[in-house]
Amino acid sequence: MAASLRKRNGREMKVAIIGERDFIWGFKGMGFSIFPVSDSSQAARALVEIGKGGYSLVYMTETFAQPLLERIDEVSRMAKIDITIIPGVQKKELGLEKLRKIAIRAVGADLFRK
């Protein structure tokens, strides 16, 4: 069962998460489609499946997103999916860096400057 959220136009959207099995398992209870992976090649295959599956929103843990940034952007553009990178088991700064770049484009200032 895929999670569905209401969009403004009344259509439902499917939500998925890609990441470490132990980290993402709890999202299944909330109705997310889960894609447990243990390496980047499995994460790449999950992205392809998600791109064909009618998903609107995808979360992916930083652990597997780093080597797939170009592919993530490609799938996001082609399938019109919002893909958000979240912290995973191994803490990294990739999600924060991506959010910082979005904020700079949106407001013209670095709101996350240290």
The reply to whether 27 falls in a domain is: yes
The reply to whether 100 falls in a domain is: yes
- Cβ atoms of 31 and 4 within 8 Å: the answer is yes
DSSP codes, 27-66: HHTTT-EEEE-SSHHHHHHHHHHHHHTTEEEEEEEHHHHG
**pLDDT tens sequence across 70-101:** 999 999 888 888 898 888 776 567 666 776 77
Q: Whole-angstrom Cα distance, residue 43 to residue 101?
A: 24
> Which segment of 4-13, 18-27, 86-95 scores lowest on mean pLDDT?
4-13
The total of structural domains in the chain comes to: 1
Range of the domain at 96: 3-107
The reply to whether 74 falls in a domain is: yes
pLDDT at 45: 96
Residue 5 pLDDT greater than 60, yes or no: no
The reply to whether 30 falls in a domain is: yes
The reply to whether 112 falls in a domain is: no
pLDDT at 114: 65
CA 84 to chain centre: 4
Give me the chain's average pLDDT, please. 83
pLDDT at 112: 67
pLDDT at 43: 96
The reply to whether 54 falls in a domain is: yes
Which residue type, as a one-letter code, is found at position 8? R
pLDDT at 94: 66
The reply to whether 28 falls in a domain is: yes
The reply to whether 113 falls in a domain is: no
CATH code for the domain of 45: 3.40.50.10580
